[in-house]
Amino acid sequence: MVRTKTQMKRIENAASRQVTFSKRRNGLLKKAFELSVLCDAEVALIIFSPRGKLYEFSSSGVNKTIERYQKTEKFVYGISSKAVDENMQNVKEDAQSMARKIELLEDSKRKMLGHGLEPCSVDDLQQLQNQLERSLCRIRARKNQVFLKQIDKLKEEERRLGEENANLREKCEMRQRESSSTGLSGELQNQNMEVETELCIGLPERRNIQKP
């Protein structure tokens, strides 16, 4: 007989629910006992029935295990809380530093565009001018580099087109020479084929034959 899988939902029938509770409770207690013996683990199990009845199992005393759990929880929670606080502090400091950098960049951008120069001193303006001149020199150098690359590319294209043009001119000359040679040989063949012939139309002429 095939065993059907039990659906994980509340059993509506009270009698069936009580039977299932008793069977699974005993199985759970048995598994807890086996785990403590086979693996030398400290196990504590507490079960309250639907009617409030207490069932428990402990390999070394429930209260002792609960106290150990509470101490461990406080220690782990304290470390975790401290780590979280330190992490949050680092995140806040990084965010503040990033905000200051963004603000400085925005201010520098405005000054580069010629805005917000009123509070700047002469030294600040001179420094800004030097920075703009250096940027302009780099821009011009990059522009010249791009121009040189374009010129080299155009020269290469010109060389390639020149080679193609020379090849086409050579092919055209070869075809013209071949056409000229073919024309001369044709004329010679026509001249050799011309033959003089006498064609007489009508009755043959009578010739007087003199008798001796």
Q: Tens-of-pLDDT digits for all 212 residues of the chain?
A: 556 777 788 888 989 999 999 999 999 999 999 999 999 999 999 999 988 899 999 988 889 998 888 888 776 666 556 666 677 788 888 888 898 889 888 888 888 888 888 888 888 888 888 988 998 899 999 999 999 999 999 999 999 999 999 999 888 888 888 877 766 555 555 555 544 445 444 555 554 545 44
pTM: 0.36
Q: What is the pLDDT of residue 195?
A: 46
CB of 62 closer than 8 Å to CB of 44: yes
- Are β-strands 44-48 and 54-58 bridged in parallel, bridged antiparallel, or unpaired? antiparallel
Q: Smallest Cα–Cα separation from 50: which of 82, 22, 83, 87?
A: 22
Residue with tokens 């502090």: 89
pLDDT at 212: 46
- pLDDT at res. 83: 66
Residue appearing with tokens 């509470």: 70
Q: What is the pLDDT of residue 42?
A: 93
pLDDT of residue 178: 81
- Residue ranges in the chain assigned as alpha helix (H): 14-39, 62-112, 122-193
Q: Are residues 116 and 107 in contact, defined by beta-carbon separation less than 8 angstroms?
A: yes
At 209 the pLDDT is 47
**Can you give the pLDDT at residue 125?**
86
Q: Distance (Å, rounded) from C-alpha 149 to C-alpha 192?
A: 66
